């Protein structure tokens, strides 16, 4: 009986190994495509978004729309941790200073 179970298990594993790797893709459909995410290598690439976030008024609704609503001359405390990308911190710092 154990030989029969072993043979059945071996047959199942062989069937899985031989099956084409389509992962549920329907026949006739193209393979999925994904947008290329740009490599951020400088602060200037982030400045447009950082300036937008800093100048946009804050929204305390349930939608959680991003925005700090900083007015010129205000003092802020900007806290980060060690997992925050230094480029993002520098871009936000520059945007706060420009404001």
DSSP annotation of 65 reads -
User: Is residue 66 in some structural domain?
Assistant: yes
User: Is residue 16 in some structural domain?
Assistant: no
User: Is residue 4 in some structural domain?
Assistant: no
User: Is residue 48 in some structural domain?
Assistant: yes
pLDDT digits (tens, 9 = 90+) for 16-59: 765 555 566 677 888 778 888 889 999 999 999 998 888 888 77
pLDDT of the residue at 43:
96
pTM check: above 0.75:
no
Q: What are phi and psi of 27, to 5 degrees?
A: -65, 140
User: Is residue 75 in some structural domain?
Assistant: yes
Reading the block at residue 90, the tokens are 């520098």
**Alpha-carbon gap, residue 99 to 87, rounded angstroms:** 18
User: Is residue 28 in some structural domain?
Assistant: no
The number of distinct structural domains making up the chain is 1
User: Is residue 50 in some structural domain?
Assistant: yes
**Domain encompassing residue 69:** 44-98
Based on C-alpha coordinates, what's the Rg of the chain?
Answer: 27
């Amino acid at each position: 009986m154990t030989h029969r179970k072993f043979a059945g298990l071996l047959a199942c594993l062989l069937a899985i190994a031989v099956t084409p790797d389509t992962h549920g893709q329907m026949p006739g459909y193209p393979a999925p495509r994904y947008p290329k995410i740009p490599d951020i290598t400088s602060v200037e690439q982030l400045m447009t978004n950082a300036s937008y976030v800093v100048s946009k008024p804050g929204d305390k609704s349930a939608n959680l729309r991003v925005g700090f609503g900083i007015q010129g001359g205000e003092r802020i405390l900007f806290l980060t941790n060690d997992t925050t990308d230094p480029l993002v911190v520098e871009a936000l710092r520059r945007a706060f200073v420009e404001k």
